[in-house]
Amino acid sequence: MIDLRKQHAAASVALVLGLCASAVWPDHAAASQALAQKYACVACHQPAAKVVGPSWKDIGARYGDGKTSAAQLAASIKAGSSGKWGAMPMPPQGRVPDADLQSLAQWLLDGAP
């Protein structure tokens, strides 16, 4: 026999978690966009247009398929690279704290709204 109280409690918890996640997401997006501005990422990257480097949308499309983790992308940003997006190299971003790199990388993988 199904315990309706347990089902009701589980449904209530799921609802609350869903509401909390939707309430937090705009802050996460705003915080990550603020980090992109703080560390001058916006000098080379924009939301939907290629400037010097690829757009945030293009980065998310290439790496957001689940094959690349936020830790891997953060490490790539920190180390810099060349040849991944054309001739222009990405300079190393060693001055950006690892926690901020992780936040930026996850934001990019999530589609950088």
Give the per-residue pLDDT at 5: 58
CA-CA-CA-CA torsion for 49, 23, 32, 107, nearest 10 degrees?
A: -70
The identity of residue 4, as a single letter, is L
Which of 26, 25, 21, 39 shows the shortest CA–CA distance to 101? 39
Q: Give me the tens of pLDDT residue by residue for the chain, a chain 113 residues long.
A: 455 555 454 444 433 444 344 444 446 667 789 999 999 999 999 999 999 999 999 999 999 999 999 999 999 999 999 999 999 999 999 999 999 999 999 999 999 87
Distance CA 19, CA 38 (A): 29
Contact between 109 and 70 under an 8 Å Cβ cutoff? The reply is yes
pTM: 0.73
Structural domain boundaries, residue 102: 27-109
Contact between 47 and 57 under an 8 Å Cβ cutoff? The reply is yes
Instruction: Give a yes or no: residue 4 inside a domain.
Output: no
Instruction: Give a yes or no: residue 64 inside a domain.
Output: yes
Give the per-residue pLDDT at 30: 76
Instruction: Give a yes or no: residue 104 inside a domain.
Output: yes
Q: How many domains does the chain have?
A: 1
Instruction: Give a yes or no: residue 63 inside a domain.
Output: yes
Instruction: Give a yes or no: residue 50 inside a domain.
Output: yes
Give the per-residue pLDDT at 59: 96
Give the per-residue pLDDT at 112: 87
Q: What is the DSSP letter of 96?
A: S
Give the per-residue pLDDT at 2: 54
How many CB atoms sit inside 10 A of residue 79's CB? Answer: 11
